[in-house]
Amino acid sequence: MSTLYGDKFQTRDPQPAAGERIADVSSFCVAHGLGAEVDVAKDLIRAHFDLDSEPSLHVEEDPDSGESYLEISFATRGEADPLIAAYQKFTATWVRTVPAGARAHIRFTFSVI
């Protein structure tokens, strides 16, 4: 899978085993105090998007800064205009609900199916 970061693509290495991923996510969340914020993020995603499956969580590294962050990925159904409106509502609620310090450690990616 390739992800666009700024003006360059980065190809992800093969995903670690599920147990390693869970340990990495759990350790990262504990280290940054993100338990409640992750629950809020997943609840907001479910409330604002027509999901194909549950959001997935994994720890990623920013290719430019080298800093790690929690990436929450999901697949959603819909057309462009309603999805843009849903994303704007999601983002407004996210910013209003979660402190900036926690938001700095969480990023979202989604695909439209």
pLDDT tens-digit profile of 13-54?
A: 444 444 445 569 999 999 999 999 999 999 999 999 999 999
Q: How far apart are CA 73 and CA 29, in angstroms?
A: 16
Hey, what CATH topology would domain 2-112 get? GMP Synthetase; Chain A, domain 3 (3.30.300)
Mean pLDDT, rounded, for 83-103: 97
Q: What CA–CA distances, in Å, run from 11 to 21, 47, 69, 73, 105?
A: 18, 30, 16, 16, 21
Token readout for 13 is 């290495």
Number of alpha carbons in the 13 Å side-chain half-sphere of residue 18: 1
Is pLDDT above 50 for 89? Answer: yes
